[in-house]
Structure 1
């Protein structure tokens, strides 16, 4: 074994045990800090709820399951916002684009597509989703074109988009709420029928554990092939146990949340099932929107770290002039990045409107604040060049945890806005301090 391969084996005696542990496992300290802050928030809201209401309602399977579903829409858009901010741009229009796209889809599946394909046709929800993704992508590409080829700052373009698309959503339906939507389409939003159940959840969990183990083994072989330093075997084993443990724990949690009694009774009647006196326990399991968020997170991580497109994005964010001089077509890249943001906003519109079973004019209001805050809290630097997808998803969980916790305790809406705004400012301040220390 070469010296480089042994570099992790010899512990530096000058480092503290914790520092040696972090160095051996290569855990991101900012990620560790975010997870720690999230756990403190969860525990704090649970204890305060127990003091105010007599019992804590935050750390329960029901609340955590609902929290994961509520996070999905913001988390999906936050994955795209990372690339926007990394390239030193901003997108203030995502909430309005979500609302406009949802309204287009609502009108399509409630008033147009049934006349074309017939009421109840499976093509309705498929075409609706394609329309939503296409509309979001086209709007994002149009914003990117204005920024790249017309030289209008992204702040102004998307601020105008915030107003234009919100007004467009109102005009499309003249202020009406479009509901109900296609039943199959609604499954994408979660709920008892929009989940994969206990068996499906265990299949997802086992596949996730297999992926984690494969990733660790493949990474070790790849390091050996290129002569890079290896992590100690104990560190690899720890990461494998930690990753699989979190997956199994999360699966147990989502399976511990049962269907409501009324829906169980309807299901039992429809399927000729006799409900015992003790009741019938049917698990929700992993919700479909959460699985969509996880899939988006994996794909976006691969795109941002393993592809030429991702390398170009971070090169543009690190030094735009040098990136252009090196041959990167920064204008085309800008259009692509905004188009990708639009695509993810369209996907988020599908999840959000399906969850509500309606398209409303208020859908997506202030979502831009939560999406930007999620990306920044997750470690994406407003100075550009730095950001991670998994950080943004954790940031989305933190933001939604704050909102959910304040609702459970009974905070006024005005106080909730004060807290969210303060957290955003604090996150930017922490980012500035972090970058100064890194220099």
Structure 2
């Protein structure tokens, strides 16, 4: 009895000592530990900044300019959208090599719908307000149906995803070639091309409005998350840490908007716009591009995919299946149907990317989406999606796409030829995966 009492007293004393040591150990934590920032994500942001600064130096200050940042952003969108879907595919231990071909076939059918079939068969003249919606729905439907078919072959027929999508890579691009008879299809509907970003922007005032709303939403989300953790008794970051994170996010958002608003539309283009309206451009008149509509689409996709991943049953099933497929199936998850859903979603995003890519180019060309499957996979993997399954983030994939596009654009501006560009991109992909493996080993995570 005495021994038990002494043991209880010793345990109580140890507990009190730990409690007293708690604030001290918390105060001794590192700056980034208190902010609770993912060090891998921070490393990716640092890598992007270093890439931008390096290319800015080698291009005599032409890389970090409003014009190039605008172009870089617009060029990244289509790959980034597909990369968000590739996260779900890889998380469930599959792969999709056909995304570039799905983009091509969706773009081909959408372009033919605008330039050939609707005007010649249905009788809708060029510029009819129904053409753009029909073309968009067609692109989305084609991508979704082919994606679902891929998922059915993988999930129900048990054909490895690598084989199914490798076959799709060869099949669908050349089906699109036959659909267009190997021709470049143009012009596309003017309402449709607005979605590409190069022509469709919000202008200065609306861009600032979007930036302010996004900043307010970011602050609200951080504050709401803090209150939720506090109400459930979870540890919370110091208030100064929350303010720091919110401040950095707001500065980044508003700084990006200010940069885009600093890119003026060329005078010659403005004159043509005024002439098309039957007006004369006033002397000294200027107008900025602002935020591209395609970027808004990417933001909506990113938010939706993040909510699916974190807040829905589908997202929980995806990550549970990727973590342990056998256990997921034994727990009652219909992994076959889940596979169909994931590949259908991937196809839908390919169709959406086809809309944006063809709208940006204002035409459908036979080489559209070439090698996009490699860029999309690279973006997801560089963004932290584990090829072994179960781990991946949407924001990481988008940042990975931005890094990939920055490398390619920067090398093109420096004058690096295409073969060497591919060598560098391939090397960066292998190096990024190696770094990720070492990072996961260090944290004791699954590789």
Once the two structures are TM-superposed, the CA of residue 271 in structure 1 deviates from its matched residue by 6.0
Equivalent in the alignment of 1:10: 23
Equivalent in the alignment of 1:253: 259
Among 25, 33, 44, the alignment partner of 1:23 is: 33
Q: 1:271 to 1:300 in 2, by over 3 A?
A: farther
Aligned counterparts of 1:305 and 1:376: Cα–Cα separation in 2? 19
Q: Secondary structure at the match of 2:194?
A: helix
| 8 A contact 1:78–1:392 mirrored in 2 | yes
Among 173, 182, 188, the alignment partner of 1:175 is: 182
Q: CA RMSD in A?
A: 1.8
Q: Secondary structure at the match of 1:65?
A: helix
| 8 A contact 1:114–1:121 mirrored in 2 | no
Say how many residue pairs are matched.
Answer: 424
Aligned counterparts of 2:179 and 2:281: Cα–Cα separation in 1? 47
Once the two structures are TM-superposed, the CA of residue 225 in structure 1 deviates from its matched residue by 2.1
Once the two structures are TM-superposed, the CA of residue 361 in structure 1 deviates from its matched residue by 1.1
Aligned counterparts of 1:49 and 1:153: Cα–Cα separation in 2? 45
Unaligned segments of structure 1, at least 5 residues: 51-55
| 8 A contact 2:91–2:389 mirrored in 1 | yes
Q: 1:315 to 1:11 in 2, by over 3 A?
A: farther
Aligned counterparts of 2:24 and 2:321: Cα–Cα separation in 1? 37
| 8 A contact 1:399–1:420 mirrored in 2 | yes
| 8 A contact 1:12–1:20 mirrored in 2 | no
Among 132, 140, 145, the alignment partner of 1:138 is: 145
Equivalent in the alignment of 1:339: 344
Large movers: runs of 4+ above 6 Å: none
| 8 A contact 1:265–1:275 mirrored in 2 | no
Establish whether residue 197 from structure 1 lines up as the match of residue 212 from structure 2: no
Once the two structures are TM-superposed, the CA of residue 213 in structure 1 deviates from its matched residue by 1.4
Establish whether residue 391 from structure 1 lines up as the match of residue 404 from structure 2: no
Establish whether residue 188 from structure 1 lines up as the match of residue 195 from structure 2: yes
Comparing 118-127 with 395-404, which one deviates more in the overlay?
A: 118-127
Equivalent in the alignment of 1:53: none
Once the two structures are TM-superposed, the CA of residue 28 in structure 1 deviates from its matched residue by 1.0
Q: Which string of whole-angstrom CA distances, capped at 9 and with x for unpartnered residues, describes residues 32-82 of structure 1?
A: 0000000000001111122xxxxx210110001100000000000000000
Q: 1:157 to 1:69 in 2, by over 3 A?
A: same
| 8 A contact 2:270–2:281 mirrored in 1 | no
Give 1:105-120 correspondences, 5 Å limit: 105-115=110-120, 116=122, 118-119=124-125, 120=127
Q: Secondary structure at the match of 1:207?
A: helix
Equivalent in the alignment of 1:47: 57
Once the two structures are TM-superposed, the CA of residue 11 in structure 1 deviates from its matched residue by 5.3
| 8 A contact 1:96–1:365 mirrored in 2 | yes
Aligned counterparts of 1:58 and 1:11: Cα–Cα separation in 2? 46
Q: 1:13 to 1:357 in 2, by over 3 A?
A: closer
Q: Which string of whole-angstrom CA distances, capped at 9 and with x for unpartnered residues, describes residues 248-305 of structure 1?
A: 10110000001011111123343635432xx322110000111111111111111111
Establish whether residue 323 from structure 1 lines up as the match of residue 323 from structure 2: no
| 8 A contact 1:25–1:235 mirrored in 2 | yes
Q: Which string of whole-angstrom CA distances, capped at 9 and with x for unpartnered residues, describes residues 310-341 of structure 1?
A: 11111111111111111111111111000000
Among 215, 218, 227, the alignment partner of 1:212 is: 218
Aligned counterparts of 1:315 and 1:438: Cα–Cα separation in 2? 20
Establish whether residue 147 from structure 1 lines up as the match of residue 157 from structure 2: no
Aligned counterparts of 1:188 and 1:391: Cα–Cα separation in 2? 24
Once the two structures are TM-superposed, the CA of residue 435 in structure 1 deviates from its matched residue by 2.0
Give the structure with higher Rg (CA). 2
Q: Secondary structure at the match of 2:23?
A: coil
Establish whether residue 230 from structure 1 lines up as the match of residue 236 from structure 2: yes
Once the two structures are TM-superposed, the CA of residue 14 in structure 1 deviates from its matched residue by 8.5
Establish whether residue 419 from structure 1 lines up as the match of residue 397 from structure 2: no
Q: Which string of whole-angstrom CA distances, capped at 9 and with x for unpartnered residues, describes residues 335-393 of structure 1?
A: 10000000000000000000111111110000001000000110111111111000000
Normalising by the residue count of structure 2, what TM-score does the alignment of the two structures yield?
0.92
Equivalent in the alignment of 2:164: 157
